[in-house]
Structure 1
Amino acid sequence: MDVIERYINELMEKSTPDRPVWNIEKILQGEKAGWNYIDGCMIKAILEMYAITQDSKYLEFADTFIDFRVKEDGTIDGYDVDELNIDNVNAGKTLFELYDLTGKEKYRKAIDLVYSQIEKMPRTKEGNFWHKNIYPNQVWLDGLYMCQPFYMEYEARFHNRKNCPDIYSQFDSVVKHMRDSETGLYYHAYDSSREMFWCDKVTGLSQNFWLRALGWYSMALLDTMDKAGKEDLEPLKRMEEAFKELIDSMIKYQDESGMWYQVVNLGGMDRNYLETSGSAIFSYAILKGVRLGYLDQSYEAYGKKAFEGICRKYLSLEEGNMSLDGICLVAGLGGKDRRDGTYEYYMSEPIVKDDAKGVGPFLLAYTEMRRTGWEYKG
C-alpha cells in the first residue's frame, strides 16, 4: 500500500457520517455534516478507489456513509428539495453507483427525490438553472458540475433520454455567455439579470477566472459526456470541442511546477498561489480525457505533471500523519458577506489542509494515475 492509500485510509478511520474530518467548513461552523456536495465529492472519490482496487473497505465505507442519510422511503436526512440549491444534487451521483452495487431499493427512491429538485429548479431567461434559489438569475460554473452529470445519468438510465436537449442547451449557453474569447477561459459566474453588484452591467459576468470553478466546469463537460451515450452526435461534438479548447487554454497557464494559480491568468501577482483543488481537478480531467479518447495521448504528460507537482508541494508527513495542504476553503459571489469577485477577494479566502474539495479531486486524479500504471515513489 502506498502512502496515498494510507492517507485516505487514515481519513476514513477518523470520520463518521455526522463528522467527517474532511468537511472543514462544517467543523469550523461546529455543525454536523448533513447532505452536501463536499461529502458527495469525497464519497464519489472513495467509490472510484473501490472501482480501481476492488478493496471492499472502500465500498463498505461509502455504503455506510450514504446509507446513514437515506431512509427506507428514499427521503434523505438533511436534504430539503425546496431549498433549490444546485450544490445539493452533487451527492446524488453516489446513489446510482451504490444502487448498482448494493441493490438497495431506497437508493433508487432517493435518486428520484434528487431528480425532483431538477424538475423544480428556476431558470434564467437563457434556460440555465439558477445556482441557488437565494442567488436568482445566476449561473456559476461550479453548478454545472454539481448537477448536469447527475441529470444526464438519470435521463440516460431512467427517462428515455427525454431531456438531453435541455442539458446540451445549458452547456451551449455557458460557452456563449461565459467564455472569454481572448484567453479561452470562463468567468466564474454570470448574472442573467445584470443586477448583482459583482457583475459587469453590460456582459453580466463576474471579474475573474477562478481555478476551481474552471475545474468543476471541465469535470462537468467530461462526466456529462461520459454518461450521455453516443446517440447525440452534434451536441456531443460541441461539448467535446468545448472541453478540448478549455484544456488547451489551461495548459498555457500551467506553472512549471505542474500546478495552476488560484486566479489562473495572474500567476506571479502578489499573494496569488498555486492551489491544490483546482490543480487536482485538471490533473483528473486531463488524464480521464485521454483515457476516454477526448484528448490524444500526448496530453497525459500534463495531467501527470500536475499530480506530481501537488505531491511535491503540498503532500506532507506530519507527526506520522499524511496531510494535503494548499486548498482554498471556499469561494463564491454575493451573499451576506458581499463577496465581490475581485482579485483581492479570491486571495482573502482561507487556505486549509485536508478539505474534501481538494482531497476528493486529488483521489480522483490518483485513481487515473493508477490506471496509467504509475506508482507513488514519495
Structure 2
Amino acid sequence: MTYSCQLFSLISILIFSPIALALPHSYALWAADSAIKRGQGNGLDSNGKPSVSYEHGELQWGLRQLYEKTGNKKYYEYIVSAANNIVSNSGTVLGSYVISDYSLDPVRTGPTFLYLYSETKQAKWKVAADTFRAQLNAQPRTAEGQFWHKLRYFNQGMSAHFRRHIFYAQYTKHFQPTNNTAWADIASQFTLMYKNTLQAPGSANYTGLLYHGYDHSHTATWASSDRGHSPEIWDRALGWFFMALVDVLEIFPKTHGDYASIQNILLDLAPKVRDAADPQTGVWWLVMTQPGRARNYFESSGTAMFVYSLLRGVRLGYIPDADGSIVQAAKKAYKYMLANWVITNSDGTMNWTNTVEVGSLSGDGTFEYYVGVPLILNDLKGLAAFLLASLEYENL
C-alpha cells in the first residue's frame, strides 16, 4: 500500500470511526451545555412564565459544581439568570408558588438562593430563602413530626421530597449554626422516613430498601396495615433520598449527636442499592420490587442518582468500599448509561432517554400505575442526575 493510501485510510478511520466521534471530553459538560442550549432549567415554563421548579433547582446544583470545577462563568451566569426569573428585585418568589400549598417541591430551588446570597450578598436572595424557611416552620407534620409532602397529601411522607431538606440544612448552617433544635429536626426527618418505609425482612421480593412513601393516618388506599407504607419501591423516590443522605452529610455538623444516625442509614442502604442492580446490565429497574416483570424496565433517572450517590459517598469517605465493589458497580452502571441512554444530535447536543415523567401516590400506588407513566426525552430529573453522576465519574 502506498503512503498516500495509508494516509487516506488513517484519515478515514479518524473521521468515520464512531469511537472518535462519540467520546466528548466531559459528559458532564456535554449534558450541561445541551440543557443550556435548549433553555432548560432557566426558571421559566414552556409559556415563558416564571416556574419555581425542583427540576430547575437540581440542574442548578450541577451547574454550580461545574462552575466551581471549571471556572467557566457561563454556568454561574445561567444560574443567576434563571434565579432572577423566579425572584423579584424585592425578593418575592414569583410564579405559581403559594406558601399555603405547603408543597415541598419548590423548596429545592432554595439552595440556589442561598448560594447566590453567599456570592453576592444581595438582600433579595436572603428574603427569598427566608420565605422557604418560613414555610418549613408552618409545614404540616404527622404526629411523629414528619413533614407532609404537600398539604393535599394528608399525613403522607414521601422519600422523594428529601432533596428539599438540603435547603433546610444549608439555611441552618448559614444563618442558625447553633440551632440544635433545627439540626435534630433535620435528622429526625431522615430517621422517621427510614423507620416507616424500610422494607422488612421476609417481604416478597425483599431488597431491604425504602418504599416510595407512607401514610401515617393509614387512610390512603395503598397504605399497608403495619406502618402505612406504599406497596412498591420506586427507583427515583429512593434515588432522591439516597442523594440527600450523601449531600446532607457534607452540611450537617459532624460534632452533632445526630450525625451518626444519618450516616448509619446511608451505611445500611448503600450495599443494598449495589445489590439491587440488575446483574447483567448493572442498572436498576423502575419498580425495584418487581425485577424482570413484564412491562418493568431499566429507568435512567434513578440509575443516575444511584451512581452519583455511590461514587460521591465513597469519594467523601461516608461509604466504606474496601473491596471496591461499590465503585465497580457504579462504573458498570455508568457505562451502560453511556451506551444506551445518551444520544448524539446533529447540532452537537446530546439527548437523554428513558426517564419516567413522574411518580405519585395520589392514586393506588400499584405496579400497573408506575409502568403506565410515560417516558420523557431530556427530562431534567434524569438529565441533571446524569450531569451529577458524570461529575463524580470524572472525578475518578
Structure-2-length-normalised TM-score: 0.86
Residue in structure 1 matching 2:152, options 129, 134, 155: 134
| Corresponding residue number in structure 1 for 2:230 | 206
Shift of 1:194: 0.4
The answer to whether the Cα contact below 8 Å between 1:189 and 1:206 also exists between their aligned partners in 2 is yes
* 1:183-332 → structure 2 map (5 Å cutoff): 183-233=207-257, 235-255=258-278, 256-297=280-321, 298=324, 299-320=326-347, 321-332=349-360
Residue 94 in structure 1 maps to residue 117 in structure 2: no
SS in structure 2 opposite 1:266?
A: coil
The answer to whether the Cα contact below 8 Å between 1:36 and 1:90 also exists between their aligned partners in 2 is yes
Alpha-carbon distance in structure 2 between the residues aligned to 1:304 and 1:33: 38
Residue 218 and residue 17 in structure 1: after superposition, are their counterparts in 2 closer, same or farther (change >3 A)? closer
The answer to whether the Cα contact below 8 Å between 1:16 and 1:65 also exists between their aligned partners in 2 is no
Shift of 1:164: 0.8
The answer to whether the Cα contact below 8 Å between 1:52 and 1:367 also exists between their aligned partners in 2 is no
* 1:1-378 → structure 2 map (5 Å cutoff): 2=25, 4=27, 5-15=29-39, 27=46, 32=49, 34-78=51-95, 79-146=97-164, 148-159=165-176, 160-162=178-180, 163-182=182-201, 183-233=207-257, 235-255=258-278, 256-297=280-321, 298=324, 299-320=326-347, 321-334=349-362, 339-372=363-396
Shift of 1:107: 1.0
Shift of 1:356: 0.5
The residue identity in structure 1 corresponding to 2:314 is: V
Alpha-carbon distance in structure 1 between the residues aligned to 2:137 and 2:112: 19
The residue identity in structure 2 corresponding to 1:152 is: A
The answer to whether the Cα contact below 8 Å between 2:282 and 2:332 also exists between their aligned partners in 1 is yes
More deviation, 36-45/93-102: 93-102
Shift of 1:131: 0.5
| Corresponding residue number in structure 2 for 1:376 | none
| Corresponding residue number in structure 2 for 1:375 | none
The answer to whether the Cα contact below 8 Å between 1:258 and 1:308 also exists between their aligned partners in 2 is no
Residue ranges of structure 2 left out of the alignment (5+ in a row)? 1-23, 202-206
More deviation, 288-297/113-122: 288-297
Alpha-carbon distance in structure 1 between the residues aligned to 2:126 and 2:90: 10
Alpha-carbon distance in structure 2 between the residues aligned to 1:126 and 1:367: 37
More deviation, 5-14/321-330: 5-14
The answer to whether the Cα contact below 8 Å between 1:253 and 1:265 also exists between their aligned partners in 2 is no
SS in structure 1 opposite 2:105?
A: helix
Alpha-carbon distance in structure 1 between the residues aligned to 2:36 and 2:328: 30
Residue ranges of structure 1 left out of the alignment (5+ in a row)? 21-25, 373-378
Q: Deviations over 1:152-199 (max 9, x none)?
A: 111122112331111112222112111013231111010000001121
SS in structure 1 opposite 2:220?
A: coil
* Identical counterparts, % of pairs: 31
Q: Deviations over 1:288-345 (max 9, x none)?
A: 10121011342222222222211111101243442110001101011xxxx2111111
| Corresponding residue number in structure 1 for 2:17 | none
Structure-1-length-normalised TM-score: 0.90
Q: Deviations over 1:50-95 (max 9, x none)?
A: 1222111101111111022212221111222221101111111111
Alpha-carbon distance in structure 2 between the residues aligned to 1:347 and 1:49: 34
- Equivalent pairs counted in the alignment come to 359
Alpha-carbon distance in structure 2 between the residues aligned to 1:17 and 1:307: 23
Compute the RMSD of aligned alpha carbons: 1.8
The residue identity in structure 2 corresponding to 1:94 is: T
The residue identity in structure 2 corresponding to 1:326 is: N
SS in structure 2 opposite 1:274?
A: coil
Alpha-carbon distance in structure 2 between the residues aligned to 1:329 and 1:130: 22
The residue identity in structure 1 corresponding to 2:383 is: V
Alpha-carbon distance in structure 2 between the residues aligned to 1:101 and 1:306: 36
Shift of 1:6: 3.2
The residue identity in structure 1 corresponding to 2:329 is: Y
The answer to whether the Cα contact below 8 Å between 2:43 and 2:56 also exists between their aligned partners in 1 is no
